[in-house]
Amino acid sequence: MEELQNYWEEYNFNRFNPVDLKSFETLTILFPILAVVAADHNIDGAEKEFYLEEIQRKVHQNEKLNLTLLKEEVRYITQNLEELSPLMLGALKILVEKDGLAHELMDMMLSAAKVSYESWQAKTLYGESDSRLKLSKKMIDLVVEDAISQKERISDEELNVIKMILQKTNALTERNKSILENLSN
């Protein structure tokens, strides 16, 4: 955990208002989602709605987290994604190894890619249409086909980001390799 604390201190070094360690861990877990939705260098309304829902879910799971702070920090991270990537990936690698999050990491990134890649269903459900419907991720998963069986649901940019994150965090399990192979074919 000392190594994670070093990443946390490095993150806070450039921040006017430092974040607590638990918030940093949450931001680290959210980082792969942000990296995938930003893979095309454009975060649209559906993608933003998706990661905001993920932030709210994390706050709901741990009431000690500050929603406003997390939203501000996510904005900072998305604006400085390239610069912060080495730091966030280093911290993520520690959390993946410590908590056994390799499969959860892949699942989170696939969910983000589903929302991200020009799915009219997801855009409609997340409010990128005249109807402005707002439904949960579970509902979207019922409408949007599984990314594993539908390669066109994941762009090459997103696939490259997913591969890079899995490699840099030592999360390339047999299951995750199999999913990547299916997505690459």
Span 29-83, pLDDT tens digits = 999 999 999 998 888 888 888 888 999 999 999 989 999 999 999 999 999 999 9
Find the mean pLDDT for residues 164-183: 94
Check residue 129 and give its pLDDT: 42
Tell me the pTM: 0.80
Q: Which domain, by its residues, includes 39?
A: 2-184
Residue 143: the pLDDT is: 45
Q: What share of the chain is helix, strand, coil (3-state, %, to 5)?
A: 70, 0, 30
Q: How many domains does the chain have?
A: 1
Distance CA 105, CA 96 (A): 8
- pLDDT per residue over 91-145, tens digit each? 999 999 999 999 999 999 998 888 866 554 545 555 544 443 445 555 555 544 4
Query: Which of 20-24, 64-68, 129-133, 164-168 has the least mean pLDDT?
Result: 129-133
HSE value, Cβ hemisphere, 13 Å, CA-based, for 120: 2
Give the number of C-alpha atoms closer than 13 A to the C-alpha of residue 42, restricted to the C-beta side.
4
Q: What DSSP designation does 44 have?
A: -
CA distance 95 to 46: 28
